[in-house]
Amino acid sequence: MVAEAWLVKMSTNLKHALLLESSSKKPSPKQTIGILSFEVANIMSKTVHLHRSLSDAELSKLKSEVFLSQGVTKLVSSDENHLLDLAVSEKLDDLSRVASVVSRLGKKCNEPALQGFEHVYEDIVNGVIDFRKLGFLVKDMESMVKKMERFVNATCNLYCEMEVMNELEQAVVKLQRSGQHQGSVKAFEQKLMWQRQDVKSLRDASLWNQTYDKVVEMLARTVCTIYGRIETVFGGLGLRGTEEFTRAADFGFPCGTNPGRMFMECLPMNNSVSRSYDDEEEDARITFPRTTRSSKFGSKSRLTQHASASTIGGSALSLHYANVVIVVEKLLKYPHLIGEEARDDLYQMLPTSLKTSLKANLRSYLKNISIYDAPLAHDWKETIDGILSWLAPLAHNMIRWQSERNFEQHNQIVKRTNVLLLQTLYFADREKTEAAICKLLVGLNYICHYEQQQNALLDCASSFDYEDCFEWQSQCQAAYLD
């Protein structure tokens, strides 16, 4: 009975293709985004970036470059299936964060369908609703993305112009209080009036004066469409194991303005309702076994669960080790300028396990060295450069990845990159990473001592003989090992 009434209700001609509006009651005034426009612009920017990251070019780059990069294969994994799991988990985590914000904003909407978006998204993720049979998915995603980008850019401009307006308002108040010449006050008041007009115009063009219903509908449709893209591309790869990514042309949905396919069909009033549509329609697209859906796309799929205790991220040392690698990289550029204080600071940055390993390596390596020579210093320089060529990008990516998330927490619109967490030190094997860092430190120690030896030989050549210099160098080495 419920299903029959539901179908009758959805079969009527609607004013809007995607939202069901009741004509039996007077609609309440719709709220506008207002001050939350900057937070919405941030989440909209993230949504656009997520869509761009799923393009054919980016997916091809992911497989041909990222998965095969030296740092990833050495420290993270060389198993493509495991790397795919990491990639899809991060994409879904990012999308889930967007969906949570959309759900929160949906509570301020007038449309019941938008108010209950969290139930819709949960059913899609859990496989209760087949995303291929949803009629509210975006048909022309590029047009939608361009529209969202215009909103984001206008909102960014609004933020800047509002700051200018605030500065002008403060300047006018100060001039009025200071009793400045009336002409100066009038000039600033005129500037302020023009600035307010610019701000008013930008509020109309940006998200500020848009209604929650309009913006949340746009984001909700986009979120579900992006989810379909993720499942189609990564789900297909995980099942087929082919060497080619699904092309965008193969990614199609039965979209359109058919009133029989409404956003509200996804509301969990009756699960049988959502499954009853278009049973007779032939579906030639990729199908996903329920086991794969639940294991890869279910609610338990979380990125951090892939970081075991044997990884850097699982040990909560990813940012710390990234900073160590970056410091070593900087010190290596000017080894002749490294003093005792700089080396001590670097040593204090190391965790206990790495300190112990470093001491053992230094003792075993330096006990047979009587003098630091140029050829060996050159060999060490090449060795360190080789390690940094694949280790440093992971460290820099770690800092970049975390910085973007920090800006997001403050609702700041940032210039985003396509750096995935698998391209950082987060999933790197801790034992292998510590061995690489330890080798860097041993090599840096040798190069620094070689530079100090050369400087000491030049400085003391006029004051005492070579044997005294050698004795001084041996004492320094013994003190360092202790």
Q: What is the 3-state secondary structure (H, E, C) of 428-462?
A: CEHHHHHHHHHHHHHHHHHHHHHHHHHHHHHHHCC
| Those residues with Cβ within 8 angstroms of residue 339's Cβ, 6 or more apart along the chain or in another chain | none
Alpha carbons 98 and 78: distance in angstroms, whole number: 30
Ordered alpha helix ranges (H), 11-36:
none
Please determine, for residue 102, whether its predicted confidence score (pLDDT) is greater than 90.
yes
pLDDT bucket at 335, cuts 50 / 70 / 90: confident
Mean pLDDT for 363-387 is 80
The CA R_g of the chain, rounded to the nearest whole Å, is 30
Do 273 and 265 contact (CB within 8 A), yes or no? yes
Q: List the one residue out of 392, 396, 376 whose CA is nearest residue 442.
A: 376
> What single letter denotes the amino acid at residue 87?
A
pLDDT tens-digit profile of 140-154? 899 999 999 999 999
Q: Does 174 or 479 have the greater pLDDT score?
A: 174
Tokens of 424: 């950082």
Residue 302 pLDDT:
66
On average, the pLDDT of the chain sits at 77
Task: Supply φ then ψ for residue 311, to 5 degrees.
Answer: -100, 165
Maximum mean pLDDT: which of 104-108, 257-261, 373-377 = 104-108
pLDDT greater than 90 at residue 317 = yes
246/223 Cα distance (integer angstroms): 20
Q: Kindly tell me if the per-residue pLDDT of 3 is higher than 50.
A: no
At what angle are helices 37-52 and 212-230 packed, to 10 degrees?
Answer: 20
Dmax (CA) for the chain in angstroms is 104
Of 93-107, 333-347, 467-481, the poorest mean pLDDT is in 467-481
Side-chain half-sphere exposure of 211, counting CA atoms within 13 A: 11
pLDDT band for position 175 (cuts 50, 70, 90): confident
Give pLDDT, residue 245: 35
**Residue 393 in contact with residue 71, Cβ under 8 Å?**
yes
Residue 92 CA to residue 124 CA, distance in Å, equals 12
Mean pLDDT check: name the lowest of 190-194, 235-239, 309-313, 447-451: 235-239
pLDDT band with cut points at 50, 70 and 90 for residue 386: very high
Q: Phi then psi for 161, rounded to 5 degrees?
A: -70, -30
Q: What are phi and psi of 429, to 5 degrees?
A: -65, 125
Q: Is the separation of the CB atoms in 441 and 344 below 8 Å? A: no
3-state secondary structure 82-123: HHHHHHHHHHHHHHHHHHHHHHHHHCCCCCHHHHCHHHHHHH
> Which pTM does this prediction carry?
0.75
Euclidean distance between CA atoms 265 and 135, whole angstroms? 9
Beta strand residue intervals within 143-188, DSSP E: none
3-state DSSP assignment of residue 219: helix
What number of helices (H) and strands (E) belong to the chain? 19, 0
pLDDT of 308: 87
Read off the tokens for 197: 């007009």
Q: How many residues does the chain have?
A: 482
Whole-angstrom CA distances from 339 to 362, 372, 408 are 18, 17, 38
What is residue 338's predicted lDDT score, i.e. its pLDDT? 78
d(CA 367, CA 379): 19
- The strand ranges marked E within 49-95 are none
- Write b or e for each residue in 407-437: b if 16 or more Cβ atoms lie within 10 A of its Cβ, otherwise e: ebeeeebbebeebbbbbbbbbbbbeebbebb
- Calpha distance 283→278 (Å, rounded): 10
Could you tell me which residue, 376 or 275, shows the higher pLDDT? 376
Decide if 202 contacts 161 (C-beta within 8 A).
yes
Name the pLDDT band for 459 (thresholds 50, 70, 90): low
